[in-house]
Amino acid sequence: MNWRWIIILILMLLLVIFTAQNYEAVAIQFLFWSFQTSRAIIIFGTLLLGIIIGWTSFYMWKRQE
C-alpha cells in the first residue's frame, strides 16, 4: 500500500471521528436569519469559506505584481 493512501485513510478516519463527536444541532443567528444545523457542518463551512477567501486574496495579490 502506498504511503499516500495510508495518510488519506488516517485523515478520513479523523474526519469521521470529528463528525461523530460534533453531530449535535446548534442554533445559528446572523442578522435576520436564524437556523439550526450540525456543528460539524458549521466548522467545515467556515473552513471552506476561509480557504476560498485565502485563495482569492492570494491570486488577486499575485496578479497585481
What is the residue type of 18? F
Residue 56 has pLDDT above 90, yes or no: yes
pTM reported for the whole predicted model: 0.63
- Cβ atoms < 10 Å from Cβ of 58: 10
pLDDT tens column, 17-33: 888 888 888 998 889 88
Burial class (CB in 10 A: 0-12, 13-18, 19+), 44: middle
DSSP 24: S
For the chain, the structural domain boundaries read 24-65
Residue 53 has pLDDT above 90, yes or no: yes
Assess contact for 17 and 6: CB atoms under 8 A.
Answer: no
- What does the block give as the cell for 33? 436569519
